[in-house]
């Protein structure tokens, strides 16, 4: 027992000293939390996680999320000690360490696999990008949901293959942020007993004691959410940690919060009790004194005792290998007995769609009255859902308005974890983060709400774009066309705001057939999220015999209608509902002998990715007389308008009035566009 206690403490102190040395070498970072939480990381990785370091993409593995991303060195230290292997571009292990000692020595430096906060795809073993507090815990809820859905959908008698547990280490900041509260609330409602948050109750934040701003009873709050709450008075009490995690694994009535208490001090006197500065390097002298307090070689840097490396190799390394091999053998037998679900699962893991997934998408006939694009979206969504069983999602309490439910499918709920319709409640921020977690597990997840509420979703949407996960968003009520609800519900700046996010594809289709084509593009994205921005009001469905086919959406922008000889002297550009206004203006201009072209630009990002020759064919550089029409702010349009072009759009918030009154008041009429075009000439 004494030898076991010694190697455990040696392993914990190795995590601590690696973290101290890396932060000190970088002269940047947070050493305190990695030092404080080293015992929790040791117990989780050394004894609890069902995880094979040699197969970090194994779908049956438990997920570990370091939500307090500022403590990144805790994760990098444990990935190094556990021997986690790096994945190649094909998703297979390369045999190379995900984190080497050299990478740790380059902590927070350009090109290192140990950036300041953990980044998904950059470093294998990092299950999600974390940094903005609250994102990690909220994303972990999506992972737990995915595990429950996969198990309910694919498990068979004697084949419990697809469920897994999700663990998240979190801080005071994660619980203060509103998204953490939203996520905890829905996790409790859904009784996700495969979810465990370990909360570091260390009583300190950057400004000082948490009592400055945080005095709530966390245990009572989470009990009210429907969580099981356990408390560990000292994070160094490994047996208490083990007991709490054992309770979690035996529990099946709701998620578990383990509150652990640690000490983050600011000097060597408390070093043996997990000392360390919270938000800055300790300094060379403090590092020496702290190492001495650990009984460590004060002159050694990045020291990893051989027996610690052996301890991890014989622990999680051997245990994980056995678990993976057992799972792989079981899955091989499963595939023989249940070939169809096995193939579906393989496609999920490869991010592949079923064959003929779009076979049921039907063209919409020409219709002057038309459909709201939210309505055509609902039709296309259901046509696709028939053939993509792992397409699932829902709305932030707006499903009747968003048309975002999948017909004939159950709700995802306790006792119905195979359901494909989600009711996220009025929790837009958590919805977006939960969708990220589901997508990180291979599911095609979507979230729906009114477009104006992307202001609440933006942090998680940004994370999706940064990670390159193909979540998509159904965003309706897209403009002043909302009408009487007024400016609080009328998006004006939101289109520009979403287009400003790198790697997010924003589609604003002009009619029902553009909606269908937008879905075809969105569903084939593998490393990019997308937003479908849709109307409340009806849009005419264009007669595609008299204008160009909607397949031009695949290029992001295309010539919808042209001058008789194709030699335009003025170009009218628009997205969404304003395209029809431009088509009417084009008819009037053509009748007056003005050579005009109408360009539909449903997706700037796709259009900008086209070859220059194509873009110049759609928007000839020689034609500088241009008018852009969009019920939003001008930002982002100047690259197409040039210095001379005229923008017809919003320069203020909207107003409360019937739609027709608003459109005329703000200038979204064919007559106004005609006047703008003539002004250009």
Q: For residues 404 and 401, give the distance between their C-alpha atoms in angstroms, rounded to a whole number.
A: 8
* Rg of the chain (C-alpha set): 28
Give residue 277's pLDDT band: very low, low, confident or very high (50, 70, 90). Answer: very low
Side-chain-facing half-sphere of 670: CA atoms under 13 Å: 12
Residue 197, strand partner residues:
168, 257
Q: Is the pLDDT of residue 607 over 50?
A: yes
Dihedral pair phi/psi, residue 33, rounded to 5°? -65, -40
Segments of 17-90 assigned E as strands: 63-66, 85-87
In 3D, which of 17, 47, 58 has the Cα closest to residue 35? 17
CA distance 424 to 217: 25
Residue 21, helix vs strand vs coil: helix
Q: What distance in Å separates the CA atoms of residue 498 and residue 533, rounded to the nearest whole number? A: 10
Of 539, 534, 508, 502, the residue nearest 521 (C-alpha): 508
- The neighbouring-strand residues paired with 304 are none
**Integer Cα distance of 106 and 80 in angstroms:** 13
Per residue in 463-505, pLDDT (tens digit) is 999 999 999 999 999 999 999 999 999 999 999 999 999 999 9
pLDDT-based confidence at residue 272 (cuts at 50, 70, 90): very low
Count Cβ atoms below 10 Å from residue 643 Cβ, excluding itself.
6
**Cβ proximity of 404 and 446 under 8 Å:** yes
Put residue 139 in one of left, alpha, beta given phi > 0 → left and psi -120 to 50 → alpha: alpha
Contact present, 580 and 508 (Cβ < 8 Å):
no
d(CA 543, CA 602): 18
pLDDT of residue 518: 98
- Sorted by sequence, the CB contacts under 8 Å of residue 674 that are 6+ apart come out as 585, 588, 589
pLDDT in tens, 139-169: 999 999 999 999 999 999 999 999 999 999 9
Q: What is the pTM assigned to this prediction?
A: 0.96
Half-sphere exposure of 152 (CA within 13 A, CB side): 19
SS3 106: coil
Going along 77-128, which residue ranges are E strands? 85-87, 93-97
In the structure, what pLDDT confidence band is assigned to residue 211 with cuts at 50, 70 and 90?
A: confident
Q: Angle of helix 32-43 relative to helix 72-82, nearest 10 degrees?
A: 40
The pLDDT score that the predictor gives to residue 1 is 67
Structure confidence at residue 269 (pLDDT): 38
According to the model, what pLDDT value does residue 99 have?
Answer: 98
Res 279: pLDDT: 65
Asked if pLDDT for residue 135 goes beyond 60, the answer is: yes
Confidence at residue 276, expressed as pLDDT on a 0 to 100 scale: 43
Triad 9, 11, 17: Cα angle to 5°? 100
- For residue 393, give the nearest of 454, 451, 458, 472 by alpha carbon: 472
Contact of 125 with 77, CB cutoff 8 Å: no
Say how many C-beta atoms besides its own lie within 10 A of residue 202's C-beta: 22
* 166: enclosing H helix or E strand: strand 166-170
Per-chain mean pLDDT for the chain: 95
Average pLDDT over residues 194-216: 90
Q: Per DSSP, what are the bridge partners of residue 446?
A: 393, 472
Nearest Cα neighbor of 431 from 417, 406, 450, 403 is: 450
Based on DSSP, count helices (H) and strands (E) in the chain, helices before strands.
25, 22
Average pLDDT over residues 626-641: 98
The pLDDT assigned to 445 comes to 98
Active site residues: 428
286-292: average pLDDT? 92
- Residue 278: what pLDDT? 52
Q: How confident is the model at residue 589 (pLDDT cuts 50, 70, 90)?
A: very high
Using pLDDT thresholds of 50, 70 and 90, give the confidence band for residue 566: confident
Q: How far apart are CA 583 and CA 589, in angstroms?
A: 10
Q: How many CB atoms lie within 10 A of CB 95?
A: 9
CA angle 579, 583, 586 (to 5 degrees): 135
> How many angstroms separate the CA atoms of 20 and 409, rounded?
52
61-73 b/e with 16+ CB inside 10 Å = b? bbbbbbbbbbbbb
Pairing type for strands 626-629 and 93-97 reads unpaired
Q: What is the pLDDT at residue 267?
A: 41
How long a stretch of residues is the chain? Answer: 681
Of 590, 589, 594, 559, which is closest to residue 573 (Cα–Cα)? 559
Smallest CA-to-CA distance from 638 within 499, 503, 532 is with 499
3-state class of 534 per DSSP?
coil
Q: What does 258-311 look like in DSSP terms, one character per residue? A: EEE-----SSGGGGGGT---SSS---HHHHHHHHHHHT--TT-SS---HHHHHH
How much is the average pLDDT of 659-678? 97
CA gap 454, 548 in Å, rounded:
32
Average pLDDT of the residues in 427-453: 98
Mean pLDDT (whole number) for 632-647: 97
Q: Are 337 and 156 in contact (CB under 8 A)?
A: yes
Split at pLDDT 50, 70, 90, the class of 263 is confident
Q: Which SS3 state, helix, strand or coil, does residue 369 take?
A: strand
The tens digit of pLDDT for each residue in 528-555 reads: 999 999 999 999 999 999 999 999 999 9
Other residues' Cβ atoms within 10 Å of the Cβ of residue 425: 16
Euclidean distance between CA atoms 573 and 559, whole angstroms: 9
User: Domains, the chain, ranges and CATH?
Assistant: 2-323 (3.40.50.970), 367-540 (3.40.50.970), 555-680 (3.40.50.920)
CB-side neighbour CA atoms (13 Å) of 287 = 23
Q: CA 399, CA 329: separation in Å to the nearest integer?
A: 42
DSSP state of 90: T
* Percentage, residues of the chain above pLDDT 70: 98
Whole-angstrom distance, CA of residue 393 vs CA of residue 411: 10
Structure confidence at residue 662 (pLDDT): 96
Task: Evaluate whether 147 touches 166 at the Cβ level (below 8 Å).
Answer: yes
CA distance 18 to 295: 15
CB atoms within 10 A of CB 300: 12
């Amino acid at each position: 027992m004494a030898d076991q206690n010694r190697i455990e403490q040696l392993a914990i102190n190795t995590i601590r000293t690696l973290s101290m040395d890396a932060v000190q070498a970088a002269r940047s970072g947070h050493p305190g939390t990695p030092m404080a939480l080293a015992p929790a990381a040791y117990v989780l990785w050394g004894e609890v996680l069902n995880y094979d370091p040699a197969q970090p993409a194994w779908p049956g593995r438990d997920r570990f999320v370091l939500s307090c991303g500022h403590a990144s060195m805790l994760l990098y230290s444990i990935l190094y000690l556990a021997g986690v292997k790096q994945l190649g571009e094909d998703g297979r292990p390369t045999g190379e360490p995900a984190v080497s000692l050299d990478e740790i020595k380059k902590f927070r430096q350009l090109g290192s696999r140990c950036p300041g906060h953990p980044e998904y795809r950059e470093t294998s073993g990092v299950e999600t990008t974390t940094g903005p507090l609250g994102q990690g815990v909220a994303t972990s809820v999506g992972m737990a949901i995915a595990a429950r859905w996969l198990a309910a959908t694919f498990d068979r008698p004697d084949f419990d293959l697809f469920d897994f547990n999700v663990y998240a280490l979190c801080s005071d900041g994660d619980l203060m942020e509103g998204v953490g509260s939203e996520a905890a609330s829905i996790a409790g409602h859904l009784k996700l007993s495969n979810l465990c948050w370990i909360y570091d109750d260390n009583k300190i934040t950057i400004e000082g004691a948490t009592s400055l701003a945080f005095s709530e009873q966390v245990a009572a709050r989470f009990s009210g959410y429907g969580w099981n709450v356990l408390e560990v008075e000292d994070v160094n009490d490994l047996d208490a940690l083990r007991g709490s995690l054992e309770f979690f694994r035996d529990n099946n009535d709701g998620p578990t919060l383990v509150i652990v208490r640690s000490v983050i001090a600011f000097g060597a006197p408390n070093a043996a009790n997990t000392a360390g500065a919270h938000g800055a390097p300790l300094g060379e002298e403090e590092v020496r004194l702290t190492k001495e307090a650990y009984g460590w070689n004060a002159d050694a840097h990045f020291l990893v005792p051989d027996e610690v490396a052996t301890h991890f190799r014989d622990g999680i390394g051997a245990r994980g290998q056995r678990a993976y091999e057992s799972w792989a053998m079981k899955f091989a037998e499963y595939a023989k007995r249940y070939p169809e679900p096995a193939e579906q699962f393989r496609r999920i893991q490869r991010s592949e769609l079923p064959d003929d997934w779009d076979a049921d998408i039907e063209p919409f006939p020409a219709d002057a009255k038309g459909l709201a694009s939210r309505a055509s979206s609902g039709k296309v969504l259901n046509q696709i859902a028939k053939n993509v069983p792992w397409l699932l999602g829902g709305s932030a309490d707006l499903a009747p308005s968003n048309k975002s439910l999948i017909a004939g499918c159950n709700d995802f709920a306790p006792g119905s974890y195979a359901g494909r319709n989600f009711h996220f409640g009025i929790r837009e921020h958590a919805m977006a983060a939960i969708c990220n977690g589901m997508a990180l597990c291979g599911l095609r997840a979507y979230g729906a709400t009114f477009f104006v509420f992307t202001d609440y979703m933006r942090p998680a949407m940004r994370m999706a774009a940064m990670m390159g996960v193909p979540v998509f968003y159904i965003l309706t009520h897209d403009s002043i066309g909302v009408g009487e609800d007024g400016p609080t519900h009328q998006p004006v700046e939101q289109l520009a705001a979403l287009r400003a996010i790198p790697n997010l594809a924003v589609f604003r289709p002009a009619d029902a057939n553009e909606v269908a084509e937008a879905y075809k593009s969105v569903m084939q994205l593998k490393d990019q999220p997308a937003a479908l921005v849709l109307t409340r009001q009806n849009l005419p469905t264009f007669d595609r015999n008299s204008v160009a086919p909607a397949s031009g959406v695949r290029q992001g922008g295309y010539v919808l209608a042209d001058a008789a000889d194709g030699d335009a002297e003025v170009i009218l550009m628009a997205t969404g509902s304003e395209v029809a206004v431009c088509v009417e203006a084009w008819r009037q201009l053509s009748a007056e002998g003005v050579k005009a072209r109408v360009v539909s630009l449903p997706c700037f990002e796709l259009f900008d990715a086209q070859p220059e020759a194509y873009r110049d064919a759609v928007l000839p550089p020689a034609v500088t007389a241009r008018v852009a029409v969009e019920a939003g702010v001008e930002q982002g349009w100047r690259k197409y308008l040039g210095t001379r072009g005229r923008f017809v759009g919003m320069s203020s918030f909207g107003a409360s009035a019937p739609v027709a009154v608003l459109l005329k008041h703000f200038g979204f009429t064919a007559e106004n566009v005609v006047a703008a075009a003539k002004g250009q000439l």
